[in-house]
Every structure is written in C-alpha cells, then in structure tokens.
Amino acid sequence: MSAAARTFISIHIGVCFDEMDSPGSSAPSPPDLTIIPKISSKKCQICENPAHGKHFGAVTCRACAAFFRRFGISNNFKPCKTENKCSFRKNGYFSCKKCRMQRCLQFGMTIDNFQFDREPFNPLKMNVGIPQTVDTFSGRPSLILFSAPSGSSGPKRYIDVQFLVDRAVEVLLNGSETPYQVSNVLQKLAIGLQNIRGPQQKVSQIVTKIGKEGIFKLWEEEMLRMAKWLTYFDDFQRLPHSVQIEILNGVWFLFGRLENIASTALARKRKLCKDDMVMTCVNKNVLICDLRTLEIDLSWCSKYTFQQLKFFDQYDDLRQLDILINAMLDLEPTHEELSYMICQLCFHQVGKKLQGNILKTVEKLQEVLSNNLHDYYVNQMNQPKYSKRIARMMKINNTVEQCLYRDRVKADLMKVFEVFHVECSHPGIFLNA
C-alpha cells in the first residue's frame, strides 16, 4: 500500500470516531476492554483440585470445605481399611472419609469459625416452664387427686370372713337337698339353678342406699348360692375337698355376676322392674335398684367416696351392663344353656388363674358339659344346627371376661394408691368382688 493510501485511511477512520463521539450520534459506545486478572492457579491442599479460596484455615476447594463443615464436629467415621495409608485421590473420589479428615487437620483446618444456632427459632433457648398447678405441686395427676378428709389415715381395719368360708364348706359337705334321677349332669344343674334362683313373681324391696352390711349380705348370698348349686354337679362332688374349696373361692363372684344379669333380663321381660333397674335375690327376697341413683357408702373401707373412685375408671360400666342385659334378653337362654354358660365362664377363669392340676380338672368338667349340651340340642330341642346359638352365648361370656379384666386393672391401680384401708382374712376371695 502506498503512503498516500495509508494517509487517506487514517484520516477517514479519525473522522468516523469523531462522529461517533459527537453528542448527536446514536451509535453505541465502544466495549470496555479492561484487562481481567488471571484466575489463581493455586490448588486445593486437600485434594489438589483448583482451589476456591481459604476456608477454615486452609486453601481448599468448595467440596473439601463443605466436607469439613459437615464432619468437622462429629469426626465419627468407620476405621480405615488400609491402616490410615489411603491414596487420597482416585478418579476424583475419596474412598476413605477418615483419611480425608486427617488430611484436613494436617493442613490446619479448624472449627473455630463454625457458626451455630443461627436459626430464628431455637427450641433450646426457649424457657419451658410448667405452670404451677395443684397437680404439679402435689406430684399427682388430677385423675387421682382427691380431697380426702383430714385424719383419715391410720391403721387398717381387719375383716375376718372365716365364718363365710366355713358356711360354704358346710354347704358343699351336705350335698344337694333332694336327689334327682336325670339323664345327664347338665339337666341336674339346670334343676339346681331353678331351685336356687328364688322367687321372681313380685318385688319385695327397692334399694336406694347400701353400705357395709348390705354389701356383705350380697357377697354371702352369692357365695352360698354358688356352693349350693355346685352340689348338683356330681362330677364336681367327686373331686377332693380341698380342690372344691379352691375352685369355689375363685369363681363365686362370676356366678353371681352372670346369674344376676340373667335374672335382671328375665325380670325386665316380665315387667317386674323398669328398663333402667337391676335385680338380685337375698334370702329369698327380690331386691331391685337403679345403679345410676344408688348411694354406696364406702366409709368403712376407704377414705374416698364412691363418686371419687369413678375417676379410676373412665369406662361406662352401666352402659356395658345394659348391653349385656339386652343381649341376654335377645338370647332368652334356657336353664340348661344358662348353666352351661356359667360353668364355661367360671371354669375357664379358674383354670387360667390356678393352672396345674386345677386346669386339667376343669377341662375334664367342661368336656362333660359340652357333650351334655350337644345331646340337649340334638335329642331334646331337635336342633342339630346350633352353632349360631353357641356363638351368641360365648359372645356374652367374652364380654363379661373383658369387664373382669378391666376390674382387675382398676383394682391394681387402687392398690398402688392405697385407696382402701382394710385387710381381709381371705383377700383372694374378694379380689374381683
């Protein structure tokens, strides 16, 4: 290129730049050509990858910094498989966390700059204060916190019931009042049940309040009726006398519970009592009461009232009792069926409780009664398909057993908190009464 041409090009370029710099020009400004410093060529002291900066006292990459931030406090790793002689880099992956942490510490990484408790909500700093209430002050929950009368604590009263046991033994020794010639044991038990259930044609007394004397009369009546009923059981009479007493002591309250349910159902059917009342018999006298309004005096055995003791059991016992009575009304068991239900319930419970020879004995008695019940359905009732009826009978018994279990749990709870201040000469007899 000639000198004249170069001069022309230079002049032309200068004119163009002057036009671009003029205020009226709309052309864009030239780009910023500031020189950017070259990225640092330092490597991570831990893994020798390109470093990001200084983290926790060492020049590291972001990955190693995050690793140390995560595991710098716990330092809880599995032992090294190569005795702390791992190669630190294998295709970009550290195979041993323990050796990686040791390398971090060797190059001076520390936890001094770690930041903790940066969350706006810190439960550790909250002042959790339990309000000072009567429950927290006394150390007892409101469920069992009662206002017992002052001066109620003292020596326990002793109740001797040996006379009751002696009377039951005497009844068993005397046997049944009248010998009966029947085809099987179940029929004889049905006859005995009719004899001991007492009159059910009219009401003798309506009970509104009951105390120590009335409670012991009920217990005595139920225990003696059970003993008298067992005298109609020939196979039971052949057992050793000690075994008879042991079985009687363990089941008399179950007999009273199931028999009273059946008696109440029969009384409601005959309109002898209202639908919200229950019935029982004491000394051939029919007694009825409304459990919702019945006053029970427990001052002779406890420093708490009956209403206060209801806090030990939130289950609606009265509703459960109505369910059982209605189920018995729908079933309308015959005396043979009711006798079998009572025996099955009593023998099952006493066998489960006493085990050993008693369990084997009651299982044999149940087998005899089961065969008699089969003969009763097939030969007398002409009902060979009776499985549904058996299922309804066992459903009632199972419900009674569930109530019995709840009573035992409640009794254990009352024992822990020393609700009753009495001692009985035979505590096992009245455990679930």
Cβ atoms of 288 and 403 within 8 Å: the answer is: no
- What was the pLDDT predicted at 430? 65
Beta strands 209-210 and 295-296 are parallel
Between 141 and 319, the more confident residue is: 319
Instruction: Determine the Cα–Cα distance for residues 206 and 287; give it in Å rounded to an integer.
Output: 6
The residue among 59, 57, 63 whose CA lies nearest residue 40 is 59
Between 177 and 408, the more confident residue is: 408
Q: Which CATH class is domain 148-424?
A: mainly alpha
Domain boundaries, the chain: 53-106, 148-424
The residue among 358, 379, 366 whose CA lies nearest residue 340 is 366
Task: Report the pLDDT averaged over residues 101-115.
Answer: 83
Query: 348-366 burial, b for 16+ CB within 10 Å, e for fewer?
Result: bbbbeebeeebeebbeebb
Residue 107: pLDDT over 50: yes
Q: Do domains 53-106 and 148-424 have the same CATH topology?
A: no
For the domain made up of 53-106, give the CATH fold: Erythroid Transcription Factor GATA-1; Chain A (3.30.50)
pTM above 0.85, yes or no: no
Got the DSSP string for 385-404? --HHHHHHHHHHHHHHHHHH
Q: Provide the pLDDT confidence category of residue 125 given band limits of 50, 70 and 90.
A: low
Residue 147: pLDDT over 70: no
pLDDT, tens digit (0-9, with 9 covering 90-100), for 49-77? 888 888 888 888 888 888 888 888 777 77
R_g of the chain, CA atoms, integer Å: 45
Determine the length of the chain. Answer: 433
pLDDT, tens digit (0-9, with 9 covering 90-100), for 371-417? 999 999 998 888 888 899 999 999 999 999 998 888 888 888 888 87
Query: 139-162 burial, b for 16+ CB within 10 Å, e for fewer?
Result: eeeeebebeeeeeeeeeeeebebe
pLDDT, tens digit (0-9, with 9 covering 90-100), for 189-210? 998 888 887 655 555 688 888 8
Instruction: Name the DSSP class of 186.
Output: H
